[in-house]
Amino acid sequence: MKDLAQVAQRLKQRVRISQENSYLSLEQTSAFAFSRTSTQQIEAALRLKNALIEEFKNIELSEVFSTRLVQTELGTFCQISHEEKIELATFDPAFAQTMIESELKLLYGVGPALEQSLRARGVSKLSDLAHHPRWGQEVQRILDALQARDLKQLENQLARWLPRSHPTAMRLAHMIEPGSLLFFDLESMGLFGHPIILLGVARPHQHGITVHQYLARNITEELPALMHTFGQLNSAQAIVSYNGRAFDINYVKDRLNYYGIAGNFEPVHFDLLTHARKRFRSYLEDARLETVEREILRRERSMDLPSMLVPEFYNTYLEEKNIGPLIPILEHNRQDLISLTLLFSKLCEP
Amino acid sequence: MKIESFLERLQQSDGYRNQIETIKIFPEQEPIYENPKKALSPAIQNYLDRKKIRLYRHQARTIELLHEEKNILITTPTASGKTLAFNLPIFEKLSQSKTGTALYLYPLKALCNDQLQSLQQLEAGTLLKFNASVYDGDTPEHQRPKIREKSRIILSNPYALHHYLSWHHKWKRFFENLQFLVLDEAHWYRGVFGSNVALLLRRLKRILHFYKAKPQFILASATMANPLEHSYKLTGEHFSLVAEDGSSRGRKYFVLWNSQKNQERSAHRQASDLFVKSVNADLQTLCFAFSRKLAELTVMWAQGATHKNLAAYRAGYLPEDRRQIEKSLKDGSLNGVAATNALELGIDIGALDSVILSGYPGTMLSTWQRAGRAGRSQQDSLVTLVGFENPLDQYFMRHPDHFFERPHEHAVIDLNNEHILLPQMMCAAAELPLRDTENACWGEKTEALINALEAQRLIQKTPMGWVYRGMARPADVVSLDNISTQTVRLLCEGQVLETLEYNRALEEAHPGAIFLHQGETLLIENLNLGQCVATARRSEVDYYTETLKSTQIRIRSVQGTQKWGAFDLSYGDVLTQHQVIGFRTMRFDKPLGMHPLESPQTEFETVALWFTLPTELREQIKKYGLDWAGGLHAAEHALIAMIPFLALCDRWDIGGLSTAMHIDTGVATIFIYDGFQGGIGIAEKTFELFSELALHTHQLVRDCPCEKGCPSCIYSPKCGNGNEPLDKSAALMILSDLAIATQNK
């Protein structure tokens, strides 16, 4: 079937051209807050890619990183692990409890004005209204949730009356056992509708964090890596992301649905983008993680891969069968996770 | 009475040149009422009673078939109450559950908005609430989630659906509960667009299958020759047909007006004159013109000759302005409108007294759709077809019986074109992984298609099936309108005016070409094939250009043969090779100059039919001192001109080649091929209907009063040889032999 092969070849070309055009339009419009990349940066990155191909010729991933092949019912994927020494903020459940208990705006109909007049009448915390005819029941529900450490219920209650970016929402984190938090960031082949190639999670422990990166070395490994990550996200007490509410979590659901798996889950979720945006608005030109990292966390990356070039690098890895272009993708994802934990700590500070 | 006296006066007026070739009178029809066998639910029946609506027989039949859970196809004429006929049982069924949904697809956005109004009125009238909403590219982002989650009736179009399918999980609620899929104006889905939509519907059905939904299909269409074949190809479903119209009709006068009888006034001016006379006689009139520009000119010319209230109507006007015109037509405050085909579709403007078709619209189907705009119930109405100079128009002017008696065309859809199948399958792979059980969607080529995509690493096999792994969103790459190969952008003063397919750009946008863009004349200055850009400037010139090109055809495989006497007819796959070799500048059909060009040779595979001619015929023709090559060439042109008479297509969709000696057949051969990569079903359909084609083409050339050939018979507007050589007498000999041979079986 020579003709059909030609038709397919032309189709492939069209797909490629369309992809290349989308780089250009991203660059020109820079409408995306997350991909403001100059032509120079792109050129530098492409030079880097060639250098990496040279550098990593005939080298296996396992020679560079601590890797492990994970076998699941659905197939195999590759896990890459790192230990990072990071000092996290100390969490204080009592502090969270006090903060939430004194947030009167968590009650139906209480806005700033009513709050003020309540405070003027000596009401300083929710329990003062435990027997109030109007709010008593609601107060009891919140206190019960606090008692039971029902984070989902508390998150919902907070989200119902306060903006997502409200500092009290962040305080909730103090009620969580750090070891059951999961930091999450993914790398994909584009904006929705494309495969996910790397899922990174970080879990705090006494001496720092453990980063696990689940890499799909080709598309057959996407689903096993996804399912593995999905299991972890589901069993974590809460997850922490940067723009994950709009992007990462929906992306995971989208891909699971593509494979015909209903991926519905609603974890307790600290999306640091909204908090960082609110907290640092006056200092920063934008709220990209890179900017926050540089200006607030005072971290510099020696080399960073612009997100929009991830597909290009990954494809080269596939086509050349050379792990070189994969290195900066893994590194980019690991750095994002480290920054995420540091930023989380910063935002949790009382 | 009013119409009759109008026609009498017309024939007595100054300047009348016996242009009326015929007046055909269609008698009035009494309405046939009937109630469906199974009573409608009280809410619906109450609505009908309150509105004093009695159902016609075809409406009752539609309701009954839907009650029996059949798929239905309605082809009754414009304004026969098709929409109400299926909306009632849809409303009834949806009201019986809390969750059932219905999806209505229209080929154009404007129709969605028009139909939304009537659905909302029905909601209000029946007190049933389904939150009918339009969901398309214009729907504001913030309204979308609510519509997906709440609306039980959604109206959209195929272009939008093409993009939404990969988000199907967001549509889970709507798809899971889908009970009806309505495709209105289904005749619109033909050719390249139709073939793409047919596969888009296969993609939708895969997803519905995934959500375990199996809706009833409802198709509404203009009358066509092959409604059941077409609807099956379009959807992969079987349908019960409702075709017999039971609505009431007034008497209709159909006039064939031959503009060529009056050489002093152009056909367009004559149409405008008729428009004026018609509105001056207090007939509310709609005049259909070919282009936006012509619609506006018609009104402008007419306004100089009448004080009646006139307007032009076309796509590109603001929706509010169009609504206003529609409303003024309905309430009678507007006496006349000149429109493009934008008013051919089912937009509600009420019925008019008189419709003028300025030129044969290209298909019988459009002709009757447009003619259906005339005729209020019980009142006389008038339709006038102004025949132009071209072959098909003139054929009808001279053969009114063929015009009025002929069945409508065959709509063609090709489900085997790999150029359409492969991109569509790629889209599907990005929506749900492809499984082994895909044959229902993609036919017998499934495996080969999957292999081809896999070989290009566009999909990859995983335990979950073949998954898409390309880098771009397939729906962004694949267009429903084109068999997109490369495209060339046409730039004028820094603006992109349009994009052309690569081959078309080579032929029509070469340096020096005069290019018409929406009535504007552009001079092409440069064509850069590397960057795929043509640059042009606006220019007022008094000449036009004709491209000269050489075409070669090689036969790849033969799919079918028929023997007609001494003529051997075949169809199959061919490779066509084209090269633009130059162009001529022309003024009033007179060549001014010749300009050679160097351009790359292009080729594409397509489907063709061809027939070989006996050598005895050549000898006879030579004996009379006639030109054999000129005869073959002229016969080819005439045959191509008549194909749109059989299959729904444009003569521009078809290419041809005639040669006194073809390398693959070894003898004189005439080829007719689909102008689209991979073919779109025209050649195949023509092969089936060849004897009809031969008969009508012979009549066309025989009855044309010209002596040596003219644009009404054997001249082709797109001939790559500048219409040389042509020999009408030789063509007539060939065509008469062919007609006799094919009628003998």
Residue B19: per-residue pLDDT? 95
Residues of A in contact with B461 (CB under 8 A): 220
Chain A stretch 149-208, residues whose beta carbon is closer than 8 A to a beta carbon of chain B = 189-190, 193-195
Q: Is A4 on the interface with B (CB under 8 A)?
A: yes
Looking at A166, A184, A210, the residue that finishes a domain is: A166
- CB proximity B432 to A under 8 Å: yes
Q: Which of A15-24, A205-214, B423-432, B504-513 has the lowest mean pLDDT?
A: A15-24
The predicted pLDDT at position A28 comes to: 40
Q: What is the mean pLDDT of residues B514-531?
A: 82
Q: What pLDDT digit, counting tens, does each position of A49-91 carry?
A: 999 999 999 999 999 999 999 999 999 999 999 999 988 888 8
A228 plus A195 within the same structural domain:
yes
Percent of chain A with pLDDT over 70: 94
Q: pLDDT tens digits, residue range B279-331?
A: 999 999 999 998 777 888 899 999 989 999 999 987 767 777 888 898 899 89
Q: What is residue A348's predicted lDDT score, i.e. its pLDDT?
A: 87
Indicate whether A133 and A5 sit together in one domain: no
- What is the Cα–Cα distance from B745 to B740, expressed in whole angstroms? 10
CB B575 within 8 A of CB B553: yes
| Same-domain pairing of A235 and A288 | yes
Same domain assignment for residues A207 and A130: no
A245, A281: one domain: yes
Task: Note whether residue A171 is domain-resident.
Answer: no
Chain A partners within 8 Å of B469 (Cβ): 195, 219
Contacting A residues, span 273-332, partner chain B, CB-CB under 8 Å: 311, 315
**What is the tens place of the pLDDT at every residue in B328-343?**
998 999 999 999 888 8
Mean pLDDT of chain B: 91
Q: What is the mean pLDDT of residues B575-589?
A: 86
Residue among B418, B467, B472 whose CB faces A4 most closely: B418
Q: Could you read off the pLDDT of B411-462 as tens digits, one per residue?
A: 888 898 888 999 999 999 999 999 877 777 888 889 999 999 999 999 999 8
Q: How far is CA A28 from CA A33, A34, B524, in A?
A: 13, 14, 29
The total domain count for chain A is 3
Q: Report the pLDDT averaged over residues B391-400.
A: 90
pLDDT category at B191 given cuts 50, 70, 90 is confident
Are B452 and A220 inside 8 Å of each other by CB? no
B419 touches chain A (CB under 8 A): yes
Residue A1 domain flag: yes
Question: Are the beta carbons of B476 and A18 separated by less than 8 Å?
Answer: yes
Give the DSSP H or E segment for A333: helix A326-348
Q: How confident is the model at residue A26 (pLDDT cuts 50, 70, 90)?
A: very low
Question: Following DSSP, what letter does each residue of A41-61 receive, concatenated?
Answer: HHHHHHHHHHHHHHHTTT--H
Lowest-pLDDT choice from A334-338, B17-21, B181-185, B672-676: B672-676
Q: Does one domain contain both A45 and A126? A: no
pLDDT score for A34: 41
pLDDT at B588: 64
Instruction: Give whichever of B138-142, B156-160, B713-717 has the largest mean pLDDT.
Output: B156-160
pLDDT digits (tens, 9 = 90+) for B592-601: 888 999 888 8
Single out the residue in A131, A166, A201 at which a domain terminates: A166
- Cα–chain center distance at B384: 21
B512 exposed, middle or buried (CB, 10 Å; 0-12, 13-18, 19+)?
middle
B419, B462, B607: best to mutate for the A interface, most A CBs within 10 A: B462
Question: What percentage of chain A exceeds 90 in pLDDT?
Answer: 44
Q: Which residue has the tokens 């790849």?
A: B556
- Any B CB within 8 A of A220 CB: yes
Asked if B476 is an interface residue toward chain A (Cβ–Cβ < 8 A), one would say: yes
Asked if the model's pLDDT at residue A242 lies above 60, the reply is: yes
Q: Looking at residue A205, which CATH number applies to its domain?
A: 3.30.420.10
Residues A103 and A58 in one domain: no
Residue range of the domain that includes A6: 1-31
Q: Worst-scoring range by mean pLDDT, A64-68, A265-269, B71-75? A: A265-269
Asked whether residue A33 carries a pLDDT value surpassing 50, the answer given is no
pLDDT of residue A23: 57
The residues in B 594-613 lying below 8 A from A, measured between CB atoms, are 605
Q: Are residues A282 and A338 in the same domain?
A: yes
- Same domain? A247 vs A337: yes
What is d(CA B610, CA B607) in angstroms, rounded to the nearest whole number?
10
- Give the pLDDT score at B484: 58
- Report whether pLDDT(B88) > 90: yes
Predicted local distance difference test score (pLDDT) of residue B687: 94
CB contact at 8 A, B425 and B433: no
Reported ipTM: the value is 0.80
How far, in Å, CA of B455 to CA of A12, rounded?
10
Residue B5 CB contacts under 8 Å (≥ 6 apart), including other chains: none
Per the model's pLDDT, the better-predicted residue between B508 and B636 turns out to be B636
pLDDT of residue A29: 39
CB burial string B280-297: b at 16+ within 10 A, e below: bbebbbbbbbeebbbbbb
Does B464 sit within 8 Å of A223, measured CB to CB?
Answer: yes
Sheet bearing A196-205, strands edge to edge: A66-72, A75-84, A208-215, A196-205, A181-188, A238-241, A269-271
With CA atoms as reference, the chain A residue closest to B606 would be A3
Q: How far is A190 from chain B (nearest CA, A)?
A: 7
Q: CB distance from A75 to chain B under 8 Å? A: yes
Q: Which of B433, B458, B471 sits opposite A190 (nearest CB)?
A: B471
Give me the mean pLDDT over the A152-167 stretch.
Answer: 88
Cβ contact, residue pair B471, A16, below 8 Å: yes
A311 and A246 in a single domain? The answer is: yes
Contact flag B458-A257 (C-beta cutoff 8 Å): no
- State whether the Cα torsion B636-B641-B642-B645 is positive or negative: positive
Looking at A231-245, A289-303, B217-231, B471-485, which range is the least confident one? B471-485
CB distance from A147 to chain B under 8 Å? no
**For B610-677, where are the alpha helices, taking DSSP H only?**
615-623, 628-642
Task: Confirm whether A202 is domain-assigned.
Answer: yes
Q: How many CB pairs under 8 A join A and B?
A: 104
Residues A107, A67: Cα–Cα separation, whole Å: 50
Residue B465: how many other CB atoms lie within 10 Å: 18
Among the partner residues B448, B453, B462, nearest to A220 by beta-carbon distance: B462
A95-121: pLDDT as tens digits: 888 888 888 988 888 888 999 999 999
Q: What is the mean pLDDT of residues A113-131?
A: 90
The pLDDT value given to residue B362: 82
- Shortest distance between the Cα of A192 and any Cα of chain B, in A, equals 9
Interface test with B, best of A3, A15, A317 (most B CBs within 10 A): A15
Tell me which chain A residue has its CA closest to the CA of residue B430: A193
pLDDT grade for B243, boundaries at 50, 70 and 90 = very high
* Distance separating alpha carbons of residues B608 and B575, to the nearest angstrom: 9
Structure tokens at B33: 């009422």
What residues of B are in contact with residue A1 (Cβ under 8 Å)?
A: 448, 451-452
Angle of helix A39-55 relative to helix A310-320, nearest 10 degrees? Answer: 20
Residue B221: predicted pLDDT = 92
Kindly give, in sequence order, each residue whose CB lies less than 8 Å from that of residue B378, ignoring residues fewer than 6 positions away: B28, B248, B250
One domain, residues A147 and A294: no
Q: Which helix (H) or strand (E) holds B466?
A: strand B465-468
**Per-residue pLDDT at A36:** 53
* Residues of chain B above pLDDT 90, percent: 64
Residue A10 lies in a domain: yes
**Averaged over B52-60, what is the pLDDT?**
96
| Residue A258 in domain | yes
Of the partner residues A10, A22, A219, the one whose CB lies closest to the CB of residue B462: A219
Q: Is the peptide bond before B725 cis (omega within 30 degrees of 0)?
A: yes
Residues in chain A: 350
Closest Cα in chain B to A315: B471
Binary contact (B485, A75; C-beta < 8 A):
no
Same domain, A154 and A240: no
Mean pLDDT to the nearest integer, A35-56: 82
State the pLDDT at residue B590.
73
Among the candidates A166, A199, A217, a domain finishes at A166
* CA angle, residues B321, B183, B483, in degrees to nearest 5: 85
Please tell me which of the candidates A3, A4, A259 has its beta carbon nearest to residue B464: A259
